[in-house]
C-alpha cells in the first residue's frame, strides 16, 4: 500500500464526487469516474468542464491546463473499470448498506495494494471496511463542500487501517493542494463532532430567542467572526445532509445537542433543503 498514487477512481459523480474528480484532475492524476448511467456521467463531465472553464476565465488556469485535465478524465458505468486505479474514493449516497455493498465489489476488482476510501461524513468507516476481505486498505477521506474550494480533508484511520495507506492518501491530498489532517474513526471525526451540535444550538436560538435567520447570521459573522452565518451554512450543506449527520451522531453518542432540531426536520419534510432545492432558510434563484 506504499504504491504511488497516479490514478484515482471516483464512484458517485454528484456534487461531491464531481468536485473530488476535479481536484484529482488538477493534481495531474488520471481519473476514472463511475456513475450508474451515461446521462449522469455526462452531467458530471459538463459540471467539471463548467468549473474549469470558469477558472480559465478568471485567469486561475490556462486553457491548455484545462484541456489536459479534461483529457485525463474517463467515465464509465462499470465498477470493473476501476480495477487499475491506485486510489478509489467513494462518494455515493450516505447509506451504510449501499456503501458496504460497493466496497465489497471494489475489494474484489481492485488490486490488493490499491487504497479504498470513503467520503462519508457521518457513517462508521470501520463498518464500511468490514464488508471487505482487506479492511487494512480502507480509510476515510472526508472532503468538505464545495470540495474544490475548501482545503480541508480528514484522513480517517480505522483500528485496522495500515499506516502506509493513511500516509499515501495524506501525501496525495497534499500534492492536490489540500490541507489534510489525520484522525481516528470516531463519530463525526473532527469537524462534524464540533460543528453539528454548534449549528443545532444556533437553530434552536431562532425559535427559543425569537431571532430571524438574517439577524442570527449577521450576529455570528460580525460578532463571532464566522465567515458565513449558520443558517446560510446549513443551506449550503443541505438541510437533509445536516439532519442525516445529526441523526447519525445522536445514534452513536446519545447527546441531546447532537439530535436535529424539530425545525430542521420539518424543513426537510417540506422539501426545503437549502440551495439545492432553491429554498431553505433563504430563497435562491
Residue 192 appears among annotated catalytic residues: yes
Q: Tell me 56's DSSP state.
A: H
Catalytic residue among 154, 161, 200, 244: 154
Catalytic residue among 161, 192, 200, 246: 192
The label of the residue with cell 436535529 reads 260
Residue 222 appears among annotated catalytic residues: no
Spatial distance between the Cα atoms of 264 and 278, rounded to a whole number of angstroms: 16
Spatial distance between the Cα atoms of 265 and 50, rounded to a whole number of angstroms: 33
Catalytic residue among 7, 119, 121, 246: 121
CA distances from 181 to 7, 126, 141, 163, 178 (A): 22, 18, 10, 14, 10
Give one DSSP letter per residue of 161-213, joined into a string. --HHHHHHHHHHHHHTT-EEEEEES-TTTTHHHHHHHHHHHHHHHHHHTT--H
Residue 142 appears among annotated catalytic residues: yes
Residue 164 appears among annotated catalytic residues: no
| Cell numbers given for 232 | 446560510
Catalytic residue among 7, 41, 94, 142: 142
Q: Give strand pairing partners of 183.
A: 156
Spatial distance between the Cα atoms of 9 and 68, rounded to a whole number of angstroms: 18
Spatial distance between the Cα atoms of 31 and 113, rounded to a whole number of angstroms: 18
Q: Which residues are catalytic?
A: 121, 142, 154, 192
Amino acid at each position: 500500500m506504499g504504491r504511488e498514487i497516479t490514478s484515482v477512481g471516483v464512484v458517485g459523480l454528484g456534487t461531491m464526487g464531481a468536485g473530488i474528480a476535479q481536484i484529482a484532475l488538477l493534481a495531474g492524476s488520471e481519473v476514472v469516474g463511475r456513475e450508474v448511467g451515461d446521462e449522469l456521467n455526462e452531467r458530471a463531465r459538463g459540471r467539471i468542464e463548467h468549473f474549469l472553464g470558469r477558472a480559465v476565465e478568471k485567469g486561475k488556469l490556462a486553457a491548455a491546463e484545462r484541456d489536459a485535465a479534461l483529457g485525463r478524465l474517463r467515465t464509465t458505468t462499470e465498477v470493473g473499470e476501476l480495477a487499475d486505479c491506485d486510489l478509489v474514493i467513494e462518494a455515493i449516497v450516505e447509506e451504510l448498506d449501499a456503501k458496504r455493498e460497493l466496497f465489497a465489489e471494489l475489494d474484489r476488482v481492485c488490486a490488493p495494494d490499491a487504497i479504498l476510501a470513503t467520503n462519508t461524513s457521518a457513517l462508521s468507516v470501520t463498518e464500511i471496511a468490514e464488508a471487505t476481505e482487506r479492511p487494512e486498505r480502507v480509510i476515510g477521506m472526508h472532503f468538505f463542500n464545495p470540495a474544490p474550494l475548501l482545503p480541508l480533508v480528514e484522513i480517517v484511520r480505522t483500528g485496522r487501517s495500515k499506516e502506509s495507506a493513511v500516509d499515501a492518501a495524506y501525501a496525495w491530498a497534499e500534492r492536490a493542494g489540500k490541507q489534510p489532517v489525520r484522525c481516528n474513526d470516531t463519530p463525526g471525526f473532527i469537524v462534524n463532532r464540533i460543528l453539528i451540535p454548534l449549528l443545532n444550538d444556533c437553530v434552536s436560538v431562532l425559535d427559543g430567542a425569537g431571532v430571524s435567520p438574517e439577524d442570527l447570521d449577521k450576529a455570528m459573522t460580525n460578532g463571532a467572526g464566522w465567515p458565513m452565518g449558520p443558517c446560510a451554512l446549513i443551506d449550503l450543506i443541505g438541510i437533509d445532509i445536516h439532519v442525516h449527520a445529526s441523526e447519525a451522531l445522536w445514534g452513536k453518542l446519545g447527546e441531546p445537542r447532537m439530535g436535529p432540531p424539530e425545525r430542521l426536520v420539518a424543513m426537510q419534510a417540506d422539501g426545503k433543503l437549502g440551495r439545492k432545492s432553491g429554498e431553505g432558510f433563504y430563497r435562491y434563484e
